[in-house]
A = this chain, B = another copy of it.
Amino acid sequence: MTTRADRPATLDDVARLAGVSRSTASRVIAGTGFASTAARSRVTAAADQLGYVPDPAARALVRGAGVRLAVAASGESAAVLDDPYVEQVVAAAARVGGPYGLGVSLHWLPLAGSTELQRLAEDRGVRGVVLVNTTEPLLAALPRSLRGRVASLGVGSADVPSFDVDNGGGATQVLRHLYASGRRRIAMVAGPHWLPCTQRSVRAYERLARDAGLPVRLLPGDFTAERGRAAAREAVRRWPDTDAIFAVSDPTALGVLAGLRGHGIDVPGDVAVAGFDDIPLAALSAPALTTASHPVGRIATAAATALAEGARAAPITTFPSVLIPRESA
């Protein structure tokens, strides 16, 4: 910290201080190519004496690499971007990005939004894309030039590695728990029909229903709390003998709780309620919500890290979901 110019140090400054050429300094800093141990130590010393941080812009420019990660969340409207789930993904990616000199930008992707995807592909600023709420058509419409620079939080494909929670497994655990505690008329509030993961949890539900000979009571959902309220009302009206409601999202489950309360129905006495995601507030509801964990932060971190490192990720990375039994079921 002896020399403290007005402007940040450049590689030239480091090289000059270390008494080597810019090329050698570059090799040492980037950790690529040959360098004698003597040169290596002098360069690193000079670098942290000057507080040198490589300019990501210059680096990206010459490498043709792009300077930020784009998080593209698809949904029926731009309101998806206000979803706490998406916010968590962005925050995790932003945390990963810093050390790599990468920033994160957030974009709405209409359900069949190939145009927006094209735009992202044409933007030299974009190093990689994190797809949230990935759908099949979107995967099919993926521009060639994006290949190898995309990670999907959801379904993947041959070109697109997938990072996802095992929601089939999580749903199964929740449903077994419900069954084990004597519930026999279980309704389920699913996710949006266009979302592939909805299939998985619905399949888990249908399997249990078939195996145990239970009725299938499926309600469409959209992960929102408001929908949970409405779904509770609907379930009570259509199937008055329902003794459990499983919503595949905690906000929806909390909405269900509120809806049932409005009808004077006791939880878990009359009806058991379970959610999915284990959001922080799930532990605080009355009664505290039984749910299955969903390590969003870890998933997003893994996806962003893969993109930042530029390494080819495993085609499918699945994170386990575990049952968190509390009071509501």
Q: Which chain B residues lie closer than 8 Å to A285 at the CB level?
A: 284-286
Is A268 part of the binding interface, using a Cβ–Cβ cutoff of 8 Å? no
Is A145 part of the binding interface, using a Cβ–Cβ cutoff of 8 Å? yes
Selecting from A27-35, A50-58, A156-164, A192-200, the interface stretch reads: A50-58
Q: Which chain B residues lie closer than 8 Å to A71 at the CB level?
A: 94
Interface size class on chain A is 35 or more
Task: Name A234-283 residues within 8 Å CB distance of B.
Answer: 251, 254-255, 257-258, 261, 280-281, 283
Q: Which chain B residues lie closer than 8 Å to A6 at the CB level?
A: 144-145
Give the distance to chain B from A299, nearest Cβ to Cβ, in Å.
14
Give the distance to chain B from A288, nearest Cβ to Cβ, in Å.
8
Of all chain B residues, the one with the shortest Cβ separation from A53 is B123
Whether the pair A8, B122 counts as a contact (CB closer than 8 A) is yes
Chain B proximity mask over A1-18: 1 for CB below 8 Å, otherwise 0: 000001111000000000
Of all chain B residues, the one with the shortest Cβ separation from A56 is B125
Among the listed B94, B101, B123, B254, which residue makes an inter-chain contact with A106, where contact means beta carbons less than 8 Å apart? B94
For the complex of A and B, 8 pairs with smallest distance between CB atoms: A103-B103, A68-B103, A98-B105, A94-B106, A56-B125, A55-B124, A87-B91, A57-B60
Can you give 14 A-B contacts (C-beta < 8 A)? Answer: A8-B145, A53-B119, A55-B125, A56-B67, A60-B67, A67-B67, A67-B125, A69-B103, A90-B94, A91-B91, A97-B106, A98-B106, A254-B281, A258-B284
